[in-house]
Amino acid sequence: MHDIGFIRDLAIVMLVAGATTVLLHRLRLPVLPGYILAGVLIGPHTPGVLVADPRTIGDISNLGVVLLMFTLGLEFSVRKLREVGAGVLLVTVAEVGTMLWLGYGLGSAFGWGTRDALFLGAIMSLSSTMVATRTLSENGMRQWPFARLVVGMLVAEDMLTIVILTMLTAVAIGGVVEPGTALSLIGHLGLFVVVGMLVGLLLLPRLVDYVARFGNDEMLLVSVLGLCFGASLLAAWLGFSVALGAFLAGAVVAEARSAARVVHLVEPLRDMFAALFFVAIGLKIDPALLAHYALPALAIAAAVMLGKTVACSVGCFFIGRDARTALRAGLSMAQIGEFSFVIATLGLSLGAVSDFIYPIAVAAALVCMVSSPYLVRSTDALADTGRRLLPRSLRLLAASYSGWLENLRPVAENAAIAAMFRRLLWHIAVNVTLVVALFTIGAFVNAHGWGWFSRMGIHRDMRHSLIWACALFLSLPFLIAVYRKAEALGMLLAELGIRERFAGGYTQAIRQVLARLIPLAALLLLALLVGALGSAILPPRDVALSLLAALVVLAVVLWRALVKMHARLQAALRDTLDKPPHET
């Protein structure tokens, strides 16, 4: 008979997790701290050991990270990102950067090493989506004005989570990342995310809806999980974290019409493995070590609650929200949560941080999670106290600043022009990214597939010529799209910038020249960018010039067909993003 020790441990973990859920629901307390405390009580560091080998439970609980990231992607969706707005995104970047700096400084003040301090900053920088949204729901505040700010900042933090996880993985594996290497890594990460999203949006939502039409929940669940773990494997193969692949898969599947049905099917699995994950966190904690580092944990929790409240409140005020709304948003973000545990686990598993970081991070997170509902409920009292203490001149200055921002917002015709500018610039950026991605993929194939070409008798110059020609030909629809969008942008700028009262009879001539110069300048800049990126696969000069001449001829001959092809791709992408997910 096989050893049933694992089954016994799993049964104990799930029974304790179930009892914890019921108890904390009755007490109206957050469930995540309960899972962690339950793990501490049944772990190997407490008397009367119930779970003797937490490693196996920890290995299985890692599935919870992948499913957490996948469902986070399902809740994220590109549509929500478009609704966040540049102001909220800027506030979130400033807030995360401030907390990274504060955490690093706090770790240095404790006398910790560089990597310990860096991981502490990352742990402190991310708020808990589960705790924040649950606090809003339980207090009946989901429809309040500040709640949209909170949700927007949480969505923006989800994207920054991916960047932080990728950078910390590189730090943990390679030691210290130089600024140039960091910029290169972020560039490759951004390229992978954008291209993965664009290609995925054209293919995966239609595939998921096709499978959903069979009406078989088992088939849909297995297919979606296959996409989730397949994307995780692809991300890992390209040198990124599995969490990134799972998140992107979720964000793409979220645009399918059957997304609500997918969420309904995946959530029970997510909840089960997430419970395992958080109980496994408690299994790794030594209560004696936790008591030893109680003071640093309390100091970190206080720094998180104060730092996040101030950073988010000040940021929201500066983008035009009133002081009370900004304070509510800041207090709602004043906690660290589930992905801080993921970061702590990453550092520990890769041997990048000291053992004490883990219990300190967990203890600080527990304090923040328990305090979060009470902080949100105390907003009015804190706002009234601050108003009484604030001098009248500063209150007048704040009111004047809010009114000034309100007057700066575009209205009527200006709003329409601003929207047109944003749309044209967005289209140009997407097409440029796709062109860059094709040449980057070409360089990747050249670097990793040269052996396959050699076995076929294709030498270096011929290999470069073939890869460069393929990348150039596949880029043709996007290059034409960049030219046409830049041409429209040039016409718009010419109409707005060249006024008849200044140019007189030369108005139309100057406008035509400007309208032609802008698209040509855009193509020139794109050519320089592609030349720099494709330098690793650049063929001999004569061959390159011949290929460019052939490309120009093809562009002239196939202009209408390529424009129609790009229009169909753009329409398909717009249809995916704009259609409402009507299935519930």
Q: Tell me, what CATH number does 312's domain have?
A: 1.20.1530.20
- Compute the distance between CA of residue 87 and CA of residue 104 in angstroms, rounded to an integer: 26
- Compute the distance between CA of residue 239 and CA of residue 456 in angstroms, rounded to an integer: 28
Would 385 be classed as within a structural domain?
no
> Residues of the chain whose pLDDT is less than 70?
1-6, 29-30, 47-62, 76-85, 172-191, 395, 399-418, 447-451, 453, 494-507, 511, 530-531, 533-538, 570-584
Domains in the chain: how many in total?
2
Report yes or no: 341 and 165 within 8 Å, Cβ to Cβ: no
The pLDDT of residue 584 is 41
Residues 165 and 308 placed together within one structural domain of the fold: yes
Would 400 be classed as within a structural domain?
no
- Compute the distance between CA of residue 303 and CA of residue 312 in angstroms, rounded to an integer: 14
Last residue of a domain, one of 360, 377, 394: 377
Last residue of a domain, one of 377, 401, 430: 377
The pLDDT of residue 201 is 78
Q: Would you list the DSSP string of 126-177?
A: ---HHHHHHHHHHTT-TTSHHHHHHHHHHHHHHHHHHHHHHHHHHHHHHSSP
Residues 149 and 239 placed together within one structural domain of the fold: yes
Residues 306 and 434 placed together within one structural domain of the fold: no
Would 267 be classed as within a structural domain?
yes
- Compute the distance between CA of residue 30 and CA of residue 445 in angstroms, rounded to an integer: 49
Last residue of a domain, one of 377, 404, 425: 377
Residues 360 and 486 placed together within one structural domain of the fold: no
Neighbouring C-beta atoms of residue 496, cutoff 10 Å = 11
Residues 98 and 188 placed together within one structural domain of the fold: yes
pTM of the model: 0.68
Would 398 be classed as within a structural domain?
no
Residues 418 and 372 placed together within one structural domain of the fold: no
pLDDT digits (tens, 9 = 90+) for 291-335: 778 888 899 999 999 999 899 888 888 877 777 888 888 888 888
Residues 425 and 489 placed together within one structural domain of the fold: yes
The pLDDT of residue 78 is 61
Residues 352 and 489 placed together within one structural domain of the fold: no
Would 405 be classed as within a structural domain?
no
Would 396 be classed as within a structural domain?
no
Residues 339 and 420 placed together within one structural domain of the fold: no
Cα–Cα nearest to 241, from 129, 162, 342: 162
Residues 65 and 164 placed together within one structural domain of the fold: yes
Residues 503 and 371 placed together within one structural domain of the fold: no
The pLDDT of residue 2 is 47
Report yes or no: 466 and 446 within 8 Å, Cβ to Cβ: no
The pLDDT of residue 583 is 45
Which residues in 403-430 are b (16+ Cβ under 10 Å) and which e?
eeeeeeeeeeeeeeeeeeeeebeebbeb
Residue 273 structure tokens:
């493995």
The pLDDT of residue 193 is 74
Would 382 be classed as within a structural domain?
no
Would 397 be classed as within a structural domain?
no
Residues 89 and 208 placed together within one structural domain of the fold: yes
pLDDT digits (tens, 9 = 90+) for 387-406: 777 777 776 777 666 665 55
Instruction: Provide the residue range defining the domain that includes 150.
Output: 5-377
